[in-house]
Structure 1
Amino acid sequence: MYRPKTTLEQWRILQAVVDYGGYAQAATKLNKSQSSLNHAVAKLQGLLNVQLLEVKGRKAFLTEAGEVMLRRSRHLTQDVEELEALAESINQDWEPEITLAVDLAYPRALLYPVLADFLPQSRGSRVKLLDTVLTGTEDAITQGWADLVIGGSVPRGYLGEAIGEIYFEAVCHPSHPLAQMPSPLDSNELEHHLQLVIKDTSASPQEKQGWLKSELRWTVSQFQTAIDLLCQGIGFCWLPCHEVRDLVKQGKLVRLSIRHSSFRKHINWLVLPRPDTSGPGTRLLQELILAHRQLKAPDSGQDPRNNNAND
């Protein structure tokens, strides 16, 4: 039988040194001495006879071989974590708490009937319903802190079920200068006006979605705050159609017609981050969400902002 030369702890220390940006930072996060981390990585490199890190100045950088080994090591440590979680799941009949992370843009009107159906069957499980935005929603999946996640994308290496569609449109107050300009607007015009954006809930946000080219941006944490500012004539913002439809109908907000971008479409995905270790309560909640999903594509030629799928 093969006996490994290295230990999981050595690989975890290597991951921490890379993830936290150096030995000193990793030592603080792991509550270990910096010398013990240096020793562990040095021993790991010696056992493998491969240089994984090289120090330049005060920072440690991965070598090409180190990048490959680190990537493979993450699969190893994740598999062990999932194996231990599976053992814990086998020993419990029904999870005491279920964490459901839901992207802020997902219509809550679609979610509440699900929770109403779940309550009589929940066996006393507590439900933690948390709002997430953009990268924060992906973190709930990749970091595994949520049992179920509803978001606008599926990270690489995970599977998801499509459960609906959301359309975003740019809106502002009728008196805003952008609303007075001839349509359609050139996107260059937007760059000179205040843009309201919703705060990414990730600790390490990545600006990889949406139009974020305005020279001046204000960040808020909720759609309602953005809507309140818009109604005061402050800025413009891309918001879900279902959040602003009534205000547009009442004339309190207006849609901006922008060349090459009348609206943006997002698919809603339901993701089970740890399918092999999910408990029966999580599985039931997943089934109920799928049973209530409303996947409706707009009819050809119909303005999707008026489609019932956004209600």
Structure 2
Amino acid sequence: MSTPFRAKSTLEQWRIFQAVVDYGGYAQAASQLNKSQSSLNHAVSKLQNLLGIQLLEVKGRKAHLTPMGEVMLRRSKLLSQNIQDLETLAASLEQGWEPKLALAVEIIQPQAPVIKALKAFLPDSRGTRVEVIDTVISGADDAIHDGEYDLVITAQLPQGVLGEPLNAVTLVPVVHRNHPLAKMPQPVSIDEVLQHVQLVIKDTGKNPKQDRGWLRAEQRWTFSSFKQVVDVLKQGLGFAWLPMHIAQSYFEEESLVELNIQGGAAKSLTTYLVVPRPELLGPAGQHFSKLLLQHCKAYR
């Protein structure tokens, strides 16, 4: 067994070295740290002797970094930041701040407000690891009932489950502009549409429900994301229901078009924020929930 590594230097020595550089000299650093100038001189001198390299050289009344000192300063500041982060995390855990936050998001939920909420959460995250997982149709039900997620965004509330409304989402039937359905006299009948291949997103639930969502045509090609569906649509293959917030940019570039189906085919849904176990949601989850509700409201 190898001998455990024992550090020669101390964090306090590195802190003093950083202060001398940051404040421009020993006298200024001594004043800021409320220590004697001689004690700072001794600490830095001892650090240099232990390492066998010169970190600082005094010119006039000011201490200047040597080239080796510049390298060690950068690395030592990373060390100091890591120690600060560790202590902040420990204090957060003591206060009940969660080390991990798991969020399940129904794939039709607009991503923009979720990303803005994550961006707003980062400065206050205190080291909390965030896990964001996509779900589709009944996958959100599983996420609510299994208890593995702190927060769930779903497009359909299971019976007996309460949720805060987030965003209205409209699903529209879409094909490539050169697809045979786009060339037919409009509006087309749903029977005509269902004779073509439907591109769908795979239900991520343990027991997929074929009677929910956009599953309708007998001939279906299944994918794991809307990006894959759009890529296939742009090749002139099949039709699909896309959320309007995804389809809009393709309508504007005229690569995809919305189908005009007799009787109307748009589907309106509302996404909801569900807290599966409210009694166990800690301060990090509560804070992120507020940010998510705030940014989803602004997105409307």
* TM-based fold match above 0.5: yes
| CA displacement at 1:211 relative to structure 2 | 4.3
3-state SS, counterpart of residue 167 of structure 2? strand
Q: Which has the larger radius of gyration?
A: 2
The residue type equivalent to 2:148 in the other structure is W
Deviations 1:211-267 (A, max 9, x none): 433231100000010000000001000011111111111110111011122411110
Structure 1 equivalent of residue 52 of structure 2? none
> Is contact 1:142–1:155 with CA below 8 Å preserved after alignment?
no
User: 1:112 maps to what in 2?
Assistant: 115
Map residues 107-256 of structure 1 onto 2, 5 A cutoff: 107-256=110-259
Residue-by-residue CA offset, 1:48-82 (whole Å, 9 max, x unaligned) = xxxxxxxxxxxxxxxxxxxxxxxxxxxxxxxxxxx
Alpha-carbon distance in 2 for matches of 1:278, 1:201? 24
2:297 maps to: 294
Q: Which runs of 5+ in 1 are unaligned?
A: 1-89, 296-307
Deviations 1:130-180 (A, max 9, x none): 111110011110111110011101111221000111111000011111111
The residue type equivalent to 1:271 in the other structure is V
Q: What secondary structure sits across from 1:157 in the alignment?
A: coil
> How many residues are aligned here?
208
Distance 1:149 1:171 in 2: 28
Matched AA of 1:157: G
Residues 114 and 296, structure 2, Cα contact 8 Å, conserved in 1: no
Structure 2 distance, partners of 1:107, 1:148, is 16
Is 2:98 the partner of 1:95?
A: yes
TM-score by length of 2: 0.66
Percent identity of paired positions between Structure 1 and Structure 2: 42
Cα deviation for residue 91 of structure 1 reads 8.3
- CA shift, 1:92, in A, is 6.6
Could you tell me which residue of structure 2 aligns to residue 271 of structure 1?
Answer: 274
Write the letter of the residue equivalent to 1:275: P
Task: Tell me if structure 1 keeps the 8 A contact 2:173–2:240.
Answer: yes
**CA 157–92 in structure 1, closer or farther in 2 if over 3 Å, else same:** farther
Which residue identity is paired with 2:107?
L
The aligned amino acid for 1:93 is: G
| Residues in 1 aligned to 2:204 and 2:104: alpha-carbon distance in whole angstroms | 11
Q: Deviations over 1:6-62 (max 9, x none)?
A: xxxxxxxxxxxxxxxxxxxxxxxxxxxxxxxxxxxxxxxxxxxxxxxxxxxxxxxxx
- Shift of residue 94 of structure 1? 1.4
Change (3 A) 1:245 1:224: same
Describe the SS at the equivalent of 2:296: coil
For 1:170, the aligned partner's letter is: P
Runs of 4+ in 1 over 4 A off after TM superposition: none
Letter in 1 for 2:165: A
Relative to structure 1, the CA distance from residue 283 to residue 167 in structure 2 (aligned partners, 3 Å threshold; closer, same or farther) is: same
Supply the distance in 1 between the matched residues of 2:213 and 2:281 (Cα, whole angstroms): 33
Seen in structure 2, the aligned counterparts of structure 1 residues 204 and 262 have a Cα distance that, compared at 3 Å, is closer
Amino acid at match of 2:212: Q
| 1:128 partner amino acid | E
Contact 2:137 2:213 in 1 (8 A): no
**Secondary structure, aligned partner of 1:215:** coil
What secondary structure sits across from 1:156 in the alignment?
coil
Between the aligned partners of 1:279 and 1:194, the Cα distance in structure 2 is 46
SS at match of 2:96: coil
Computed over aligned residues only, the root mean square deviation of the Cα atoms, in angstroms, reads 1.7
Q: Note if contact 1:114-1:288 (Cα within 8 Å) is conserved in structure 2.
A: yes
